[in-house]
A and B are shown apart, each in its own frame.
Chain A
Amino acid sequence: MWKKEKLINGPLFLPWIIPFLALLLWIIASKTEMVPGYLLPRPLDIGKAGYSYIFGETGEGPYAGRFLGDLGSSMVRVGCGFALAVLLGLPLGITSGRLPYIHKLFSNSINGIRAVPGISWLPLAMIWFGIGMKTTVFLVALAAFFPIYLNAAAGAGQVNPLLLQAGAMMGVGRVRGALAILLPAAMPHIITGLRLGLGISWAYLVLGELSGVPNGLGAIIMDARMLGRTDFIMVGIIVIAVIGRISDRLLMVFLRSCFKSARRLS
């Protein structure tokens, strides 16, 4: 029986198989020169570029030692944008999931704006907010808002009415009902929304930073393109993949440590 359970969860190396295979394929492709080096740099070059980007001294080479500064400013941008999206999206989503009036009031407009690809906001945002922090935060908040809003609304909408009735009969008021019954009961959906929102935040961070800000993880990608340094583009991409994955895990850890419902329902 134990053996069976272990098989279901799979061995520990399972998540690493695909990255490993991809790396192997890449090494073969660059060794055999199937793809020229200026299009797809060799893994070793990227390793070197990544090392100098993260651990190098400033001035040693292009982008050397800029990692912490870039990461810091990018994280501030994502953090601000995501926080804004949560602050707006969660309450709005939960209320419109419960109250048909609020839903009717917002659903048309929100779903209309949702249909507009985020990238079309970039020119307007640059005119409104200039280049840099504000534009990026705006784009991140805008993009992260929709999954958070929609999932919170769906979650609040499908809460078993019996739970709310049970609360009402036990003398639970509106505020406590919302915090102690509605929120935990909708938690699985809310978590999905938050994770999707945070994921898309990193995507729109890069978009916002492509517009020519001097620092940030997206900025290095665009800057490296101008210099024709594919290795640093790849470094930027890999760094964002890793940071995105880590931030998703951290979000889960945070929610699980704060909410019983996040621990016990998912």
Chain B
Amino acid sequence: MKTRAKVIPLVKRPSPDDALFEIDGLRKVFPVGAFFLTVLDEVRFQVSRGELICIIGRSGCGKSTLLKILAGFIAPSSGKVLLNGKSVTRPGPDRCMVFQEDALFPWLTVRENVAFGLRGKGFSRRKVREQVDKFLSLVGLREFHNYLPRDISGGMKQRVALARVLILQPEVLLMDEPFAALDAQTREEMQSLLLALWQQLSHTIIFVTHDVTEAVTLADRVLAMSKAPGRIQQQLHIDLPRPRGRDQKDFIDLAGKLYAALR
């Protein structure tokens, strides 16, 4: 399989000339009865190749809408979204989304769910099987490959969701509060897993969350959004070495800054 994501040594990322995703002047207006609600206004940012960005904001600030526009599920009212210089108009396997809720196909086993995106693309059965095995091992679900989604836990479901998009080797991984519904321990486990996978596979990740600790734990850069209309209010680079301890002074300082920005 052709590797679409370019592998970049950890020391080099992220550099500003590697702009992969460009969002400029983005605006989204929803009609609400006789009025119009401006959900996003003048949103502008760039994402470099291999960067892990967290978009943080309180609920209702339009961060999920923003992610849906980036994925191509809905069209912006105005503004441009460029991936590799090309305009994004519809969903595609180069920008894969991990949803907050369970979006696995309930009639397919874990293995079949992960293989779904590879079907009908001209890969041999053996190739598909090998790839699925590889990605199931990466997320630690090899033994559960024959289970149905209803028989596994919430955390495991999100692992499957991760594996089924990683197998497509997307350029950008869009994550819409994927761990919000999990308990605290599982969430931390998933965060470490995501970081490990990111360091191994060098994807570009845009991670939406409302959890300050999660953002500071994960991100290279945090974009804080304001509410109604949603704008990028503040940008915060996080240069702490990983893994980041939650009780370090720098961590607490940065988290405090973010809390202030959201207030």
Contact = CB atoms under 8 A, between A and B. Distances in A.
Interface of A: 160, 162-163, 165-172, 176, 180-181, 184-185, 187, 260-261, 264-265
Interface string B67-85: 0000111000000000000
A171 B117 contact: yes
Of the four ranges (under 10, 10 to 19, 20 to 34, 35 or more), the interface on chain B belongs to 20 to 34
B103 A166 contact: yes
Interface stretch (B37-45, B94-102, B212-220): B94-102
A166 B108 CA distance: 14
A171 B103 contact: no
Contacts of A163: 103, 105
11 contacts: A162-B99, A162-B103, A165-B73, A165-B97, A165-B99, A169-B72, A169-B93, A170-B165, A171-B121, A264-B107, A264-B148
Contacts of A181: 105
B154 interface: no
B161 to A, nearest CB: 8
Contacts of A185: 105-107
A260 B96 contact: no
A178 to B, nearest CB: 13
B227 to A, nearest CB: 25
Contacts of B129: none
Contact of B107 (A160, A171, A261): A261
Contact of A265 (B97, B107, B119): B107
A176 B118 CA distance: 13
A29 B105 CA distance: 55
Contacts of A171: 92-93, 117, 121, 168
Given A163-B105, A166-B105, A171-B168, 9 more contacts: A160-B103, A165-B71, A166-B103, A168-B91, A169-B95, A170-B93, A176-B120, A180-B119, A185-B105
